[in-house]
């Protein structure tokens, strides 16, 4: 999902792995306070996660000064279908 509020540029771009806006506490709460604490800056957030299925709830709403948001998942249904199954004999480099 990509959300853009007419963002031509942002002041600060955050690349976040497995945290805000999907996981509560720790880094996520720090990021939330950071964005809310600097309303004069326009933020962009890129979220990186494992699979979309791992992130069903979003405890943090995007503040108004987040002008750009994108999320990218490293694994998905299509990728899992295309992954070759491991051989029962073991890896080929041992043969």
Residue 87 forms part of a structural domain: no
Residue 90 forms part of a structural domain: no
Q: What is the DSSP string of 11-51?
A: SEEEEEES-TTTS-SHHHHHHHHHHHH-TTS-EEEEEEES-
Give the pair of three-digit tokens for residue 36: 């809310």
Residue 37 is inside which H or E element, if any?
helix 26-37
Select from 90, 80, 69, 57 the least CA-distant residue to 7: 69
Q: How many domains, in total, are found in the chain?
A: 1
- Rounded to an integer, what distance in angstroms lies between the CA atom of residue 2 and that of residue 34? 21
Average pLDDT over residues 80-87: 55
Query: What domain range is 10 assigned to?
Result: 2-81
pTM for this prediction: 0.74
pLDDT digits (tens, 9 = 90+) for 14-40: 999 999 999 998 999 999 999 999 999
> What local confidence, expressed as pLDDT, does residue 36 receive?
97
């Amino acid at each position: 999902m990509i959300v853009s509020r007419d963002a031509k540029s942002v002041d600060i771009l955050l690349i976040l792995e497995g945290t805000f806006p999907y996981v509560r506490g720790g880094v996520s709460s720090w990021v939330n306070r950071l964005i809310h604490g600097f309303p004069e800056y326009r933020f962009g957030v890129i979220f990186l996660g494992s699979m979309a299925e791992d992130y069903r709830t979003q405890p943090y709403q995007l503040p108004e000064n987040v002008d750009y948001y994108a999320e990218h998942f490293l694994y998905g249904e299509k990728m899992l279908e295309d992954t070759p199954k491991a051989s029962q004999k073991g890896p080929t480099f041992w043969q």
